[in-house]
Amino acid sequence: MKVIKRMSLRQLQRMFFSIYGERNERLYGSSNLLLHVFEETAVIAESFRKEDHKDIYPAIARFLNWLLGFCNSEGVDLSDAIFAKYHGACPYCGRPMHCTCISAETKPRKWRRQKKNVMMPDSLQAWQDMFKNIYGRVNKVAGREKCWLHLHEELGEVSRAFRLKERVNLRDELADVFAWLVAFCNNSGIGLEFAILRHYPGKCDVCGKKQCQCPIV
């Protein structure tokens, strides 16, 4: 079996920009990139509903490709956005492990983070591990369906923040989308590094070029 190398989220965002940045800028705007994100959620939902595990891996890879394309278009470093909100702990109760906030009927007040030496996860797997430590137990109880519904809810918030030009909220909601994507993957036994780097080994999955030359789709 081919060994999949480790890659940080920031490296992945830069890789997608190298492959698709010029094409996305020339053929798409932020609105169309965001529409592609929603389009891929439908593909994932269909694969999920049909329990088609073979198709769900490339669909998740394409979802993150378009999401990071949207982030690049809006000048958002997704790693910074996620780490600013989820600094190794739940942003509401401050627990680094076994948070139960999302199971409460009322959301707790936002926790004032204490200064501490917490390192940003250095790979996609490390991000998955971080979120599993914080929310793994409660997300497992909630199940894949609720995690997927939460992801859709946060995508709606991204759309609203984008439409209203609320830059701070846009960053926060993009961080939440990633958090719920990871929750869904953790509950489904899907490794993001494996899913993405197998589908995008440093080049376009369609034309095979290191700088995509595909026509508009």
Mean pLDDT per 10-residue section of the chain, whose length is 217 residues = 69 96 92 95 88 84 97 97 93 87 60 68 95 93 91 96 96 97 94 91 93 83
Q: Is residue 216 part of a domain?
A: no
Residue 50 lies inside a defined structural domain of this protein: yes
Residue 204, SS3? coil
What confidence score (pLDDT) does residue 114 get? 54
H or E segment at 4? none
Question: Measured between alpha carbons, how far is 57 from 13 in angstroms, rounded to an integer?
Answer: 18
Task: Report how many domains make up the chain.
Answer: 1
Residue 217 lies in a domain: no
Answer whether residue 181 is part of any domain: yes
Quick check: is 59 in a domain? yes
* Amino acid present at 27: L
Structural domain for 61, as ranges: 9-104+122-199
* 98 within a domain of the structure (yes/no): yes
Q: What is the pLDDT of residue 52?
A: 74
The answer as to whether 215 is a domain residue is no
Q: Say if 155 falls within a structural domain.
A: yes
Burial of 69 (0-12, 13-18, 19+ CB in 10 A): buried
CA distances from 74 to 27, 55, 159, 168, 201 (A): 15, 29, 13, 12, 25
